[in-house]
Amino acid sequence: MAVERTLSIIKPDATDRNLTGKINSYIEEAGLRIIAQKRIQLTRGQAEAFYGVHKERSFFGELVDFMISGPVVPQILEGENAIAKYREVMGATNPANADDGTIRKDFAIDVQSNSVHGSDAPETAAVEIAFFFSETEITG
């Protein structure tokens, strides 16, 4: 298995409920390292660009409104098989379908306010990491 990097975002529903530290403990207990992290307020343009792949979906407008409703915490996670491992740690997109012990089962409110985002493939991870972080912000 290769050491990979993936992009995580702790979403506004979770920052609003002061869950950043609790979510980070799920990440670290799974053996993933948080090698970069910042707390920011997305602009509408940034949220539309980040989720551009979903722009034809019926929920796109609501998703963008939600992602700019409060601060988010983008972070780079590193570890063996990090992309698939983080998707396991997050649980299913809809918390109603998430396994016990996952972040979304334990903290998400609904399919939109689902507390975290994680990249789905190496190509998207590279693009999403570069969206939020410059090389000088990544210390390893």
Written as one letter, the residue type at 83 is I
- Smallest distance, ligand CMP to C-beta of residue 85, A: 15
**b vs e for 105-135, b when ≥16 Cβ sit within 10 Å of the residue's Cβ?**
bbbbeeebbbbbbbbeeeeebeebbeebbee
Contact assessment for residue 46 and residue 74, using Cβ atoms and an 8 Å cutoff: no
Which of 5, 11, 85, 117 is the catalytic position?
Answer: 117
Q: Does 59 bind ligand CMP (CB under 6 A)?
A: yes
Q: Does 104 bind ligand CMP (CB under 6 A)?
A: no
Contact assessment for residue 44 and residue 68, using Cβ atoms and an 8 Å cutoff: yes
Q: 5 or 117, CB closer to ligand CMP?
A: 117
Beta strands in 1-140 (DSSP E): 3-10, 33-37, 73-80, 116-118
Site for ligand CMP in 121-140 (CB under 6 A): none
Binding part of the chain for ligand CMP, among 14-22, 33-41, 97-105, 111-119 by CB under 6 A, reads 111-119
Binding part of the chain for ligand CMP, among 31-39, 41-49, 73-81, 106-114 by CB under 6 A, reads 106-114
Q: Which residues bind ligand CMP (CB under 6 A)?
A: 54, 59, 63, 93, 111-112, 114, 117
